[in-house]
Structure 1
Amino acid sequence: MNGENKVFKTPTSNRQIDIYKGDDMYIGQLKTGKVYHCEQAKIDLEKDAWLVEQQYTVEYILEGGASKPFLDKLDELGIKYKIGSQIP
């Protein structure tokens, strides 16, 4: 996907980024299994919301889909998402 792995320091703790494209201010999070709005996801989304505030485009690639509460939270935070494989 023409990006690199990167770790960002956020106000709460570090955030591992799966796909970072600095020139485009793009951060992609690739999830291969179904994602739920669990405690770890809440922590990660707090960090991602901070990245959105810093003017990054944050996008989740949800190959295995996600629960409705998780998708609702992405919408609320202004985080984009795609469902299904994005590799042709």
Structure 2
Amino acid sequence: MEKMYSYKGFEVTVQLESVRAVSSDFTYGPPVGYVAVVSICTVEPRRPVGTPIGLVAEGNRVFDTQDDALTTGFNAAKRVIDEKGAP
């Protein structure tokens, strides 16, 4: 899953990577959580700001829900943009 946001003249993309449990039969089970991969780009011209950042929940755990991962990823991007200063 991938979601794009606009914030203060930047484009934020939060992509979710499913983490699955592996059984002893080497088959994949259902997702046990998600990792958020956050990318920030300027809008015009479109240029990346830094490199994508992978985020996990507190305690180095995966996020339990897609909503938690998306919200945390977007909030982290907003903090980075606010620290750098908007155009």
| Coarse TM-score class (shorter-chain normalised) | under 0.3
Structure with the bigger percentage of strand: 2
TM-score (norm 1): 0.24
If asked which structure has higher relative contact order (CA below 8 Å, sep 6+), I would say: 2
TM-score (norm 2): 0.25
Higher-Rg structure is: 2
